[in-house]
Amino acid sequence: MSSERTEPTSSIPDFARDIDPAALYFFVTLYRTGSLPRTAEQLGVSLSSANRMLARLRAYWDAPLFVRSGASMLPDRSAKEKYEGVVRILRLLEELRSTGPLEPARLKRTVRLACYDNAFAATLASVHAQFARTFPHVTFQVTQADEHMFDLLRDDKLDLLFVARQGLPPDVRSAAALTTPYACIVAKDHPLSGVARRRGALTRHDLERFSQVLVNTQPDRYRRPNGPGNGYFNPRDPSKIALVTPFFLSVPLSLEGTEHYAIVPEVTARLAFDTSRIDILPVTREAPELTVQLAWHERTQKDPAFELIRSVLLDLIAKNAKAVLSGSLE
């Protein structure tokens, strides 16, 4: 009689073998970064370990998944088809591991956000300390917004946008973060400062004899004017535009030593500008106001973690902007 023992046949189905949450998380990270070295850095593993993870995934799915293009690793059709399903699996695993309601102090996320410099100053930057006390393990990666931002949001390369435009794409959800009037910014001792002291708010007529430093955050071919402030305050005479810049925060330096003026959202000016060097002058109530929207893709509409992050962020920003505009900010 033979004494040899045979190994029992595994009853684990093929789809559950040779895969684990760590490999799926690696897949999502590589999909989002498009870079194997950056993925390894974010996950805290060596480049050789990252290559082994990619090899495991390729063997499991019997597909290349990512193809090299220069320094980038681009997802192929197979990876694109699998991506949303993998994200859902990871979110479900996170929910199953949770023993109760989400706790802000324990939540871990890296939020990828795009905005213009004025929106960053008036929104996230102005409340970051408060937010970090509530969510100590939530971090942000902020990039400059541009005309591709909605495509990046749709492709899950971004999580949130701060925007001030109308007519968002149908797959993008949004909520108002703050509404602010505009203000006229001039160097100290500017003639317009005297006009404002005598009469109060400035009108477009008051501005006509001076040249403008025009802040145009997105000078693209898809929409002109850039925003409600541009549409209302832009000089009718092109020769009265002294300088065009995409950077709101460069305005004070651009105005020094000149009699130029700039139109800037008041909340940005009061948060970011040094009033020992410039004057912030009120403009007529007939001028439009600016509403900054927080936008996200419908994919994360019901994600509990992102719902919590959005709600707290919106609440902090609204309260802070109200305090700044009322002059009651501590």
Identify the band that residue 279 occupies on the pLDDT scale cut at 50, 70 and 90: very high
Non-local (6+) Cβ contacts of 278 within 8 A are 185, 186, 187, 188, 251, 252, 255
* Containing structural domain, residue 221: 182-288
Output 118 or 194, whichever has higher pLDDT.
Answer: 194
Are 217 and 273 found together in one domain?
Answer: yes
Tally of domains in the chain: 3
Q: Does 70 fall in a domain? A: yes
* Domain contains 7: no
- Whether residues 48 and 196 share a domain: the answer is no
Q: Are residues 84 and 147 in the same domain?
A: no
Q: Are residues 163 and 210 in the same domain?
A: no
> Where a domain ends, among 97, 126, 154?
97
Domain membership flag for residue 121: yes
Residues 90 and 144 both lie in one domain: no
Q: Are residues 148 and 191 in the same domain?
A: no
Do 137 and 204 belong to one domain? no
Average pLDDT (178-189) is 95
Residue finishing a domain among 63, 97, 131 = 97
Domain assignment present for 210:
yes
CATH code, domain with 27: 1.10.10.10
For residues 162 and 219, state if they share a domain: no
Residue 9 lies in a domain: no
- Give the pLDDT of residue 328: 56
Query: Which has the higher per-residue pLDDT, 2 or 110?
Result: 110
pLDDT score, position 222: 42
The answer on 236 and 165 residing in a single domain is no
Report pLDDT digits (tens) over 231-273. Answer: 788 888 889 999 998 888 899 999 999 999 999 999 999 999 9
Same domain, 221 and 279: yes
User: From CA 82, how far away is CA 72, in angstroms rounded?
Assistant: 19
Domain assignment present for 198: yes
Same domain, 279 and 304: no
Is residue 3 domain-resident?
no
- CATH code assigned at 256: 3.40.190.10
Residue 68 lies in a domain: yes
Mean pLDDT lowest among 73-87, 125-139, 213-227: 213-227
pTM, rounded to two decimals:
0.76
Q: What is the 3-state secondary structure (H, E, C) of 57-104?
A: HHHHHCCCCEEEECCEEEECHHHHHHHHHHHHHHHHHHHHHCCCCCCC
Same domain (yes/no): 200, 250: yes
Average pLDDT, the chain: 87
